[in-house]
């Protein structure tokens, strides 16, 4: 029993021999793979229970923002009623986006990659490997037809799923070419054996912010552009060194890249013929950083590290000073908002000051396990605002005030408005959600935790160890 593995000296894992440990590891891995395969079946069956017809039966007319059908796998896989994904995600302890990906992979495997689906359930291919193939065939560009997906399925199944990412990319490209799915390129050599797909892109991974306040940039550009950029960064790094910078070469090149962006923006603002030495501010720094502070006489002393709302990462005080020291950076200091104040307005629309307070308090969408940053979300009235209350002489049930407002991303705002999902604010920034099937969750600044239902009256609930 797995319970016996918790502690040493009581028949636990410390008493097992090397042979026994290897056998246990093998059994646990097999159990894990089996559970992952079973979860794909559950996800596909959940989609079966929520087809688009379930929406049409429930709504006789179209309402803005109401539920619609969601294509989450490739051509030939069934559509799904989009709101069902939220409840599956919450019981699994993952975001709605992660649940959508799970169901999409399950449908892609069952309907478009049936050989791989069968191998997963025969134990020959682990679920994670099959899901990586499904991810590629779902998001191939151009989209794979059912016949092209079947070709990929046959090739991958022939090697029992043992295919690397680069091989999989080439296989998908071969399927696109074999089934003539790509738009013809008039400049391409018809004898060329490679599929023409324009690979150029610049991607800024701002969803993964390092604790030092940096982000990863990935790009593929024309050779000429790359050489020009390299020369510009080399010149900028050398110029900074000549001006006394002690930063290493890589950091100076990174700073030079930022200088290029800000200088070009400032030139655009100033117009043709502007003097590059006297340019207007090209950047406004809007940062929401929280630092511990103390007082030394009349001076305020800030701690060396704080927390940056953007990216939910630690930030160094010296780095914030460095960002604000740039000569072409506009710095705006906003007044401090007390998150414990009760702010209100008689109107329905949320004023900027109240919005800012709610955003700073909640930091993200407050739906269970959602992590979408608050600044890109809606402000929701927890208890709906009644526009007719004043005209009817009734008190307003959903006032626009701090303790009745919460941050919800657009999807979960629609979910709360058009489904049986309900929530309440039990204290500032603390929310309790109830799903259509009666599951309960607590959401606060620390994250999400399920709330277990109370036991039957008169029967004490067992304590957890």
Q: How far apart are CA 446 and CA 364, in angstroms?
A: 11
Residue 242, phi-psi category: left (phi > 0), alpha (psi -120 to 50), beta (remainder): alpha
pLDDT tier at 27 (50, 70, 90 boundaries)? very high
Q: What is the DSSP string of 77-118?
A: SPPEETTHHHHHHHHHTS-HHHHHHHHHHHHHHHHH-HHHHH
> pLDDT higher for 338 or 460?
338
Instruction: Write down the pLDDT at residue 189.
Output: 47
Is 68's pLDDT higher than 50? Answer: yes
Is 280's pLDDT higher than 80? Answer: no
Report which of 433, 396, 417 is spatially closest to residue 65, judged by C-alpha positions.
417
Instruction: Write down the pLDDT at residue 10.
Output: 47
Instruction: Write down the pLDDT at residue 335.
Output: 66
Instruction: Write down the pLDDT at residue 212.
Output: 67
* Beta-sheet strands, E only, within 121-205: 201-205
Q: What is the DSSP string of 233-265?
A: HHHHHHHHHHTT--S-HHHHHHHHHHHHHHHHH
What's the Cα-to-Cα distance from 127 to each of 33, 85, 86, 106, rounded to whole Å? 7, 20, 22, 10
pLDDT in tens, 362-420: 999 999 999 999 988 999 999 999 999 888 889 999 999 999 999 999 999 999 999 99
What's the Cα-to-Cα distance from 105 to each of 112, 134, 157, 162, rounded to whole Å? 10, 5, 16, 18
pLDDT in tens, 93-104: 999 999 999 999
Contact 397, 383 (CB under 8 A): yes
Instruction: Write down the pLDDT at residue 292.
Output: 67
Instruction: Write down the pLDDT at residue 327.
Output: 54
Contact 364, 407 (CB under 8 A): yes
Tokens 């959600």 identify what position?
Answer: 433
Is 75's pLDDT higher than 90? Answer: yes
Q: What is the DSSP string of 28-56?
A: HHHHHHHHHHHHHHHHHHHHHTS-THHHH
| Strand, coil or helix: 230 | helix
> pLDDT higher for 57 or 404?
404
Instruction: Write down the pLDDT at residue 226.
Output: 85
Bond into 142 cis (ω within 30): yes
- Span 425-432, mean pLDDT? 95
Instruction: Write down the pLDDT at residue 80.
Output: 95
| Strand, coil or helix: 24 | helix
pLDDT tier at 455 (50, 70, 90 boundaries)? low
Q: What is the DSSP string of 280-310?
A: PP-EEE---EEEEEEEETTEEEEEEEEEETT
> pLDDT higher for 283 or 111?
111
Report which of 139, 131, 140 is spatially closest to residue 161, judged by C-alpha positions.
131
Instruction: Write down the pLDDT at residue 185.
Output: 52
Instruction: Write down the pLDDT at residue 239.
Output: 87
């Amino acid at each position: 029993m797995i319970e016996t593995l918790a502690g040493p000296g009581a028949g636990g894992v410390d008493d097992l021999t090397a042979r026994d440990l290897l056998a246990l590891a093998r059994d646990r891995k097999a159990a894990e793979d089996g559970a992952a395969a079973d979860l794909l079946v559950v996800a596909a069956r959940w989609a079966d229970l929520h087809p688009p017809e379930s929406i049409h039966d429930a709504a006789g007319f179209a309402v803005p923002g109401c539920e619609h059908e969601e294509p989450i796998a490739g051509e030939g896989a069934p559509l799904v009623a989009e709101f069902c994904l939220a409840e599956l995600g919450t019981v699994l302890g993952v975001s709605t986006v992660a649940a959508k990906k799970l169901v999409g992979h399950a449908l892609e495997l069952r309907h478009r990659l049936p050989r791989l689906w069968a191998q997963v359930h025969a134990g020959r291919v682990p679920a994670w490997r099959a899901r990586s193939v499904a991810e590629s065939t779902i998001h191939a560009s151009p989209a794979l037809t059912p016949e092209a997906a079947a070709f990929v399925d046959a090739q991958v199944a022939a090697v029992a799923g043992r295919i690397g990412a680069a091989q999989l990319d080439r296989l998908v490209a071969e399927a696109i070419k074999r089934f003539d799915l790509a738009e013809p390129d008039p400049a391409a050599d018809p004898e060329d054996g490679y599929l023409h797909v324009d690979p150029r892109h610049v991607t800024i991974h701002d969803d993964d912010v390092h604790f030092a306040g940096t982000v990863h940039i990935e790009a593929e550009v024309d050779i000429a552009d790359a050489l020009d950029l390299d020369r510009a960064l080399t010149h900028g790094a050398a110029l900074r060194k000549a001006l006394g910078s002690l930063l290493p070469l890589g950091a100076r090149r990174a700073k030079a890249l930022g200088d290029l962006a800000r200088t070009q923006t400032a030139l655009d603002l100033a117009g043709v013929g502007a003097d590059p030495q006297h340019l207007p501010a090209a950047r406004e720094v809007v940062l929401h950083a929280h630092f511990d502070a103390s007082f030394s006489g009349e001076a305020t002393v800030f701690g060396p590290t704080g927390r940056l709302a953007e990216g939910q990462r630690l930030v160094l005080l010296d780095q914030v000073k460095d960002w604000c020291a740039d000569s072409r950076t506009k710095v705006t200091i906003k007044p401090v908002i007390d998150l414990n104040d009760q702010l209100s307005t008689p109107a329905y629309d949320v004023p900027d000051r109240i919005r800012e307070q709610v955003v700073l308090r909640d930091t993200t969408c407050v739906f269970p396990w959602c992590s979408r940053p608050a600044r890109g979300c809606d402000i929701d009235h927890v208890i709906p605002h009644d526009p007719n209350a004043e005209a009817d002489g009734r008190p307003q049930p959903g006032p626009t005030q701090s303790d009745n407002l919460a941050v919800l991303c657009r999807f979960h705002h629609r979910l709360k408005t058009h489904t049986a999902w309900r929530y309440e604010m039990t204290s500032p920034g603390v929310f309790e959600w109830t799903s259509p099937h009666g599951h309960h969750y607590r959401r606060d600044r620390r994250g999400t935790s399920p709330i277990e239902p109370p036991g039957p009256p008169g029967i004490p609930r067992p304590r957890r160890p």
